[in-house]
DNA sequence: ATGGAAATGATAATCATTTTCATTTGTGGT
DNA sequence: ACCACAAATGAAAATGATTATCATTTCCAT
C-alpha cells in the first residue's frame, strides 16, 4: 500500500465540495502540478481508507470524493442531483450495538446510507 | 424508449434480492433463454424508470437492481469467517423515514450493514 | 555513497455500460 | 395475404472510469 500524496488532499480541499479522481487530476494539471493520474487514484483511495475523505457515487457510477468531518456520520443523498446531507445516527448506533449484542458479535462497525429525491428534484 | 422485456423482470424476481445486469444476463443464458445483453440493460432501465425496480450501486460501482417493495432486510456479517445473519431493522426504517422527512427528501430507500466478529471468531 | 524499499507515472488491460445500426418482429390497414 | 411502418432486438464497436503492470525515480537508513 502507498501513502497519500499531500498535494492531492490539498487540491481536494481547494475544490470545495465533491470531486472525482478525474476532476482532481485535471485541476492539478491546470494549476501546473506535475502528477500522474495513477497517483491521484492511489492517494484518494488511501485517504478513504484512513477515513479522511468520504466517497460516494454519482448516478453515472463515477466515484466522487470529499473531505469528511471528523465525527462518525451517515449520508442522505439525492439520487437525482447528488445533493448530500450529513446526518446524525444516534438511532443507528444503538441499533447496531443492540443487534451485535443480540447475536454475540463484537468489534462491530456499520454502514448506513439513505437515498431518495431532495425537495428541489 | 422501449418497453421492458417481461422475461427480464421474471428473472430478477427469481433471483430474489439484488442482481446486476450482467448477472441477470448470465442467469438467463444458463437457463437457456435467448436474449441479448443490450435488451437486459434496456429492460432494467425501463423498470427503474417505471419505479418497479430499485437501483443502487455496489462498492465497485456496478449497478444492482431489485424489485421495489420486496421486504428487505439487513445483514450482520462476520469479517473473519463470513457468517451472515439476516436481521430486522425496524429502528432503521423509522430513522430513515425521520431523517428524510426532516430534510424534505421523498421516495427514499436505504442500505445498512453491520460487520464485526462473530462469537466463534 | 550504497542498497533496498517505497513512490511514481506512462502504458496497457479490464470491464461495465452505452451507442450504432442492421435485422427481425409485431401491428394495423387494405 | 400483402404491404407499410414502427417498435424491439442484439451483435459489434465505442466509451470511459478504474485497475494492473512494470520500469524508473525518489527516499532513507546504514
Ligand atoms: Mn461524510
Ligand atoms: Mn431496512
Ligand atoms: Zn436533488
Ligand atoms: Zn466469524
Helix (H) or strand (E) holding A91: helix A90-102
User: Using the beta-carbon criterion (under 8 Å), do B114 and A110 form an inter-chain contact?
Assistant: yes
- Tens of pLDDT, residue by residue over B34-85, are 999 999 999 999 999 998 998 888 889 999 998 987 677 888 877 667 677 8
| Average pLDDT over every residue of B84-91 | 84
Residues with CB under 5 A from ligand 1 (ion): A 54, 68, 86
The residue assigned the cell 460501482 is B61
The residue ranges of DSSP E strands in chain A, in sequence order, are: 19-20, 53-57, 63-67, 74-78, 84-87, 106-117
Q: Which residues of B touch A49 (CB under 8 A)?
A: none
Instruction: Tell whether the model's pLDDT for residue B112 goes beyond 70.
Output: yes
Nucleotides of C under 7 A from a protein CB: 6-11, 16-20
Report residue A60 as a C-alpha cell. 453515472
Number of residues that this document lists for chain A: 121
- Answer with the residue of higher pLDDT: A73 or A12: A12
Share of chain A above pLDDT 70, in %: 97
Helix (H) or strand (E) holding A24: helix A21-30
Do residues A73 and A91 touch, judged by C-beta distance below 8 A?
no
Q: Which residues of B touch A91 (CB under 8 A)?
A: 91-92, 94-95, 98
CA distance B47 to B49: 5
The reply to whether A101 touches chain B by the CB within 8 Å rule is no
Q: How open is the CA angle B119-B120-B121, to the nearest 5 degrees? A: 95
3-state secondary structure of A26: helix
Integer angstrom CA distances of residue B34 from A2, A75, B25, B39: 46, 41, 10, 11
Separation of CA B76 and ligand 4 centre (Å): 10
Which ligand lies nearest the alpha carbon of A48?
A: 1
CA distance B61 to B105: 24
User: Using the beta-carbon criterion (under 8 Å), do A116 and B99 form an inter-chain contact?
Assistant: no
Which ligand lies nearest the alpha carbon of B104?
A: 3
- Tens of pLDDT, residue by residue over A64-105, are 998 877 667 888 988 777 788 889 878 999 999 999 999 999
Beta-strand pair A84-87/A74-78 = antiparallel
Cα B58 to its chain centre, rounded Å, is 9
Q: What are phi and psi of A108, to 5 degrees?
A: -90, 145
Do residues A16 and A6 touch, judged by C-beta distance below 8 A?
no
How much is the pTM? 0.78
Which contacts of A49-56 are long-range, i.e. CB under 8 A and separated by 24 or more positions?
A49/A1, A50/A4, A52/A4, A52/A9, A53/A9, A53/A12, A56/A18, A56/A84, A56/A113
Amino acid at each position: 500500500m502507498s501513502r497519500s500524496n499531500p498535494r492531492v488532499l490539498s487540491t481536494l480541499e481547494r475544490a470545495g465540495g465533491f470531486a472525482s479522481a478525474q476532476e482532481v487530476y485535471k485541476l492539478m494539471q491546470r494549476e501546473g502540478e506535475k502528477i500522474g493520474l495513477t497517483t491521484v487514484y492511489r492517494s484518494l483511495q488511501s485517504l478513504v481508507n484512513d477515513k479522511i475523505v468520504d466517497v460516494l457515487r454519482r448516478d453515472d457510477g463515477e466515484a466522487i470524493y470529499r473531505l469528511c468531518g471528523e465525527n462518525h456520520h451517515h449520508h442522505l443523498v439525492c439520487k437525482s442531483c447528488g445533493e448530500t446531507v450529513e446526518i446524525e445516527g444516534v438511532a443507528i448506533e444503538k441499533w447496531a450495538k443492540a443487534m451485535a449484542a443480540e447475536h454475540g458479535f463484537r468489534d462491530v462497525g456499520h454502514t448506513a446510507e439513505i437515498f431518495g429525491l431532495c425537495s428541489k428534484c
